[in-house]
Protein backbone atom coordinates (compact mmCIF):
# COMPACT_ATOMS: atom_id res chain seq x y z
CA UNK A 1 0.00 0.00 0.00
CA UNK A 2 1.52 3.29 -1.15
CA UNK A 3 -0.66 5.45 1.09
CA UNK A 4 -2.21 7.19 -1.90
CA UNK A 5 -5.95 6.57 -2.15
CA UNK A 6 -7.97 6.91 -5.32
CA UNK A 7 -11.73 6.66 -5.63
CA UNK A 8 -13.62 5.18 -7.28
CA UNK A 9 -11.64 2.14 -8.43
CA UNK A 10 -13.89 1.57 -11.39
CA UNK A 11 -16.21 3.91 -13.24
CA UNK A 12 -18.44 3.23 -16.22
CA UNK A 13 -20.20 6.12 -17.86
CA UNK A 14 -21.68 7.17 -21.18
CA UNK A 15 -20.25 9.45 -23.81
CA UNK A 16 -20.93 13.12 -23.21
CA UNK A 17 -21.06 12.71 -19.46
CA UNK A 18 -18.86 14.28 -16.79
CA UNK A 19 -17.05 12.45 -14.02
CA UNK A 20 -14.87 13.37 -11.07
CA UNK A 21 -11.95 11.27 -9.92
CA UNK A 22 -10.64 11.76 -6.43
CA UNK A 23 -7.17 11.37 -4.98
CA UNK A 24 -5.99 11.55 -1.39
CA UNK A 25 -2.19 11.86 -1.22
CA UNK A 26 0.02 10.29 1.39
CA UNK A 27 -0.09 12.06 4.71
CA UNK A 28 2.17 15.10 4.52
CA UNK A 29 2.72 14.98 0.77
CA UNK A 30 2.18 18.36 -0.85
CA UNK A 31 2.56 17.39 -4.51
CA UNK A 32 -0.11 15.56 -6.49
CA UNK A 33 0.32 14.35 -10.06
CA UNK A 34 -2.29 12.97 -12.43
CA UNK A 35 -1.51 10.50 -15.22
CA UNK A 36 -3.52 8.78 -17.93
CA UNK A 37 -2.66 5.27 -19.06
CA UNK A 38 -4.59 3.97 -22.05
CA UNK A 39 -4.63 0.29 -22.97
CA UNK A 40 -1.11 -0.92 -23.71
CA UNK A 41 0.13 2.64 -23.53
CA UNK A 42 2.60 4.40 -21.34
CA UNK A 43 1.97 6.92 -18.64
CA UNK A 44 0.89 10.28 -19.95
CA UNK A 45 1.48 13.14 -17.55
CA UNK A 46 -1.60 15.33 -17.22
CA UNK A 47 -1.03 17.86 -14.48
CA UNK A 48 0.86 18.56 -11.26
CA UNK A 49 -0.31 20.46 -8.20
CA UNK A 50 1.78 21.56 -5.29
CA UNK A 51 0.14 22.79 -2.09
CA UNK A 52 -2.98 23.88 -3.91
CA UNK A 53 -1.32 25.54 -6.87
CA UNK A 54 -0.95 24.23 -10.40
CA UNK A 55 2.77 23.71 -11.12
CA UNK A 56 3.01 21.93 -14.45
CA UNK A 57 0.75 20.84 -17.26
CA UNK A 58 1.23 18.00 -19.64
CA UNK A 59 -0.95 16.91 -22.54
CA UNK A 60 -4.18 17.58 -20.70
CA UNK A 61 -7.24 18.17 -22.82
CA UNK A 62 -9.30 21.32 -22.35
CA UNK A 63 -12.23 19.07 -21.42
CA UNK A 64 -10.22 17.95 -18.39
CA UNK A 65 -9.54 20.05 -15.33
CA UNK A 66 -8.14 19.46 -11.90
CA UNK A 67 -7.74 21.13 -8.56
CA UNK A 68 -6.09 20.55 -5.22
CA UNK A 69 -7.99 21.51 -2.12
CA UNK A 70 -6.73 23.01 1.19
CA UNK A 71 -6.71 19.54 2.75
CA UNK A 72 -4.41 18.52 -0.17
CA UNK A 73 -6.74 16.02 -1.77
CA UNK A 74 -7.17 16.48 -5.49
CA UNK A 75 -9.90 15.96 -8.02
CA UNK A 76 -9.66 15.38 -11.74
CA UNK A 77 -12.76 16.41 -13.66
CA UNK A 78 -13.39 14.91 -17.06
CA UNK A 79 -16.22 16.33 -19.12
CA UNK A 80 -17.87 15.71 -22.50
CA UNK A 81 -16.44 12.23 -22.30
CA UNK A 82 -15.48 10.38 -25.44
CA UNK A 83 -14.80 6.70 -26.03
CA UNK A 84 -11.10 7.50 -26.31
CA UNK A 85 -11.05 8.78 -22.76
CA UNK A 86 -11.38 5.23 -21.49
CA UNK A 87 -8.20 4.60 -19.58
CA UNK A 88 -6.61 3.99 -16.24
CA UNK A 89 -6.10 7.26 -14.41
CA UNK A 90 -3.37 7.33 -11.81
CA UNK A 91 -2.72 9.83 -9.11
CA UNK A 92 0.69 10.07 -7.49
CA UNK A 93 2.02 12.13 -4.61
CA UNK A 94 5.44 13.18 -3.44
CA UNK A 95 6.65 14.96 -0.35
CA UNK A 96 9.34 17.37 -1.40
CA UNK A 97 9.18 21.04 -2.27
CA UNK A 98 9.06 21.91 -5.94
CA UNK A 99 12.76 22.57 -6.21
CA UNK A 100 13.71 19.06 -5.13
CA UNK A 101 12.55 16.27 -7.37
CA UNK A 102 11.87 13.00 -5.68
CA UNK A 103 10.01 9.74 -5.92
CA UNK A 104 6.31 9.78 -6.63
CA UNK A 105 4.06 7.22 -4.95
CA UNK A 106 1.22 5.99 -7.10
CA UNK A 107 -2.32 5.16 -6.12
CA UNK A 108 -4.04 2.05 -7.44
CA UNK A 109 -5.72 4.00 -10.19
CA UNK A 110 -9.27 4.58 -11.37
CA UNK A 111 -10.32 2.57 -14.38
CA UNK A 112 -12.68 4.68 -16.46
CA UNK A 113 -14.75 3.05 -19.16
CA UNK A 114 -16.74 5.26 -21.48
CA UNK A 115 -19.49 3.45 -23.37
CA UNK B 1 9.23 20.53 -23.52
CA UNK B 2 10.90 17.33 -22.39
CA UNK B 3 10.87 14.30 -24.66
CA UNK B 4 11.84 10.88 -23.33
CA UNK B 5 12.50 8.03 -25.70
CA UNK B 6 12.70 4.48 -24.36
CA UNK B 7 13.75 1.29 -26.09
CA UNK B 8 13.22 -1.48 -26.66
CA UNK B 9 9.46 -1.59 -26.33
CA UNK B 10 9.58 -5.34 -25.69
CA UNK B 11 12.40 -7.49 -24.40
CA UNK B 12 12.58 -11.23 -23.85
CA UNK B 13 15.47 -12.78 -21.96
CA UNK B 14 16.23 -16.18 -20.55
CA UNK B 15 16.16 -16.53 -16.81
CA UNK B 16 19.57 -15.70 -15.41
CA UNK B 17 20.56 -13.44 -18.28
CA UNK B 18 20.87 -9.67 -18.07
CA UNK B 19 18.39 -7.13 -19.37
CA UNK B 20 19.18 -3.56 -20.42
CA UNK B 21 16.66 -0.83 -21.10
CA UNK B 22 17.77 2.54 -22.46
CA UNK B 23 16.24 6.00 -22.35
CA UNK B 24 17.22 9.33 -23.81
CA UNK B 25 15.92 12.72 -22.79
CA UNK B 26 15.97 16.11 -24.45
CA UNK B 27 15.79 18.72 -21.68
CA UNK B 28 19.21 19.45 -20.23
CA UNK B 29 17.47 20.90 -17.16
CA UNK B 30 16.18 17.46 -16.17
CA UNK B 31 17.90 16.38 -13.01
CA UNK B 32 16.02 13.38 -11.60
CA UNK B 33 15.55 10.06 -13.36
CA UNK B 34 13.39 7.41 -11.70
CA UNK B 35 12.60 3.95 -12.99
CA UNK B 36 9.23 2.38 -12.27
CA UNK B 37 8.08 -1.22 -12.52
CA UNK B 38 4.44 -1.90 -13.30
CA UNK B 39 3.12 -5.41 -12.94
CA UNK B 40 -0.04 -6.35 -14.78
CA UNK B 41 -3.05 -4.57 -13.33
CA UNK B 42 -1.04 -2.85 -10.64
CA UNK B 43 0.28 0.62 -9.99
CA UNK B 44 3.79 1.69 -11.00
CA UNK B 45 6.33 1.37 -8.23
CA UNK B 46 9.74 2.96 -8.00
CA UNK B 47 12.58 0.47 -8.24
CA UNK B 48 15.57 2.77 -8.50
CA UNK B 49 16.37 6.39 -9.24
CA UNK B 50 19.35 8.53 -10.02
CA UNK B 51 20.07 12.23 -9.79
CA UNK B 52 22.07 14.28 -12.23
CA UNK B 53 25.05 14.61 -9.92
CA UNK B 54 25.60 10.84 -9.92
CA UNK B 55 26.80 8.66 -12.79
CA UNK B 56 25.81 5.24 -11.52
CA UNK B 57 23.72 3.70 -8.78
CA UNK B 58 23.27 0.07 -7.85
CA UNK B 59 20.79 -1.80 -5.68
CA UNK B 60 21.37 -5.55 -5.59
CA UNK B 61 20.55 -6.87 -9.07
CA UNK B 62 19.44 -3.51 -10.41
CA UNK B 63 21.67 -0.68 -11.56
CA UNK B 64 21.13 2.59 -13.36
CA UNK B 65 23.68 4.62 -15.27
CA UNK B 66 23.42 8.22 -16.38
CA UNK B 67 25.38 10.03 -19.07
CA UNK B 68 24.48 13.71 -18.78
CA UNK B 69 26.54 14.74 -21.76
CA UNK B 70 24.78 12.31 -24.06
CA UNK B 71 21.46 12.73 -22.21
CA UNK B 72 20.81 9.09 -21.79
CA UNK B 73 20.30 6.74 -18.89
CA UNK B 74 19.93 2.99 -18.70
CA UNK B 75 18.50 0.33 -16.44
CA UNK B 76 20.45 -2.87 -15.98
CA UNK B 77 18.94 -5.98 -14.41
CA UNK B 78 21.30 -8.86 -13.81
CA UNK B 79 20.48 -12.50 -13.06
CA UNK B 80 16.92 -11.98 -14.20
CA UNK B 81 14.14 -13.96 -12.56
CA UNK B 82 10.56 -14.70 -13.71
CA UNK B 83 9.23 -12.19 -11.16
CA UNK B 84 11.14 -9.47 -12.99
CA UNK B 85 8.61 -9.82 -15.81
CA UNK B 86 6.70 -6.51 -15.96
CA UNK B 87 6.56 -3.21 -17.79
CA UNK B 88 9.37 -0.83 -16.90
CA UNK B 89 9.08 2.92 -17.32
CA UNK B 90 11.83 5.46 -17.25
CA UNK B 91 11.09 9.08 -16.46
CA UNK B 92 12.83 12.42 -16.48
CA UNK B 93 11.94 15.25 -14.14
CA UNK B 94 13.04 18.73 -14.98
CA UNK B 95 11.97 22.26 -14.35
CA UNK B 96 8.81 22.78 -12.30
CA UNK B 97 8.71 19.04 -11.57
CA UNK B 98 7.19 18.22 -14.90
CA UNK B 99 7.61 14.46 -15.12
CA UNK B 100 7.88 12.88 -18.53
CA UNK B 101 7.71 9.10 -18.87
CA UNK B 102 9.05 6.85 -21.58
CA UNK B 103 6.62 4.58 -23.42
CA UNK B 104 7.58 1.58 -21.33
CA UNK B 105 9.41 -1.67 -21.97
CA UNK B 106 7.61 -4.96 -21.56
CA UNK B 107 10.15 -7.36 -20.14
CA UNK B 108 9.52 -11.08 -20.30
CA UNK B 109 11.83 -13.42 -18.44
CA UNK B 110 11.58 -16.93 -19.80
CA UNK B 111 12.11 -19.69 -17.22
Residue B14 clears pLDDT 90, i.e. is over it: yes
Percentage of chain B exceeding pLDDT 70: 96
Q: What average pLDDT does range A36-56 have in this prediction? A: 86
pLDDT for residue A99: 43
Whether pLDDT at B37 is above 60: yes
**Burial class of residue B69, CB neighbours in 10 A (0-12, 13-18, 19+):** exposed
B45-92 pLDDT, tens digit each: 999 999 888 899 999 999 999 999 999 999 999 999 999 999 999 998
Chain B residues in contact with chain A using a Cβ-Cβ cutoff of 8 Å: 31-32, 34, 36, 42-46, 49, 51, 89, 91, 93, 96-104
pLDDT of residue A98: 44
Strand pairing partners for B80? none
**How far apart are the C-alpha atoms of B97 and B89, rounded to whole Å?**
17
Give the pLDDT confidence of A70-113 residue by residue, as tens digits: 999 999 999 999 999 999 999 999 876 544 556 788 999 999 99
Which residues of chain A lie closer than 8 angstroms to B104, CB-CB? 41-43
Q: Which residues contact A11 (CB under 8 A, 6 or more apart)?
A: A19, A21, A110, A111, A112, A113
pLDDT of residue A97: 53
Chain A: residue whose CA lies nearest to B102: A42
Interface of A with B in 95-114 (CB under 8 A): 98, 101-109
Omega of the bond leading into B44 within 30 degrees of 0 (cis)? no
Amino acid sequence: DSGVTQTPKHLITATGQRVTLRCSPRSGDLSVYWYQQSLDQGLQFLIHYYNGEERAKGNILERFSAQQFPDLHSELNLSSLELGDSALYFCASSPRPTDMNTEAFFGQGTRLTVV
Amino acid sequence: GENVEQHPSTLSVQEGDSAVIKCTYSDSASNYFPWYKQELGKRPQLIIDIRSNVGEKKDQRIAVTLNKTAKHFSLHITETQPEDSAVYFCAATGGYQKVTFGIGTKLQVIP
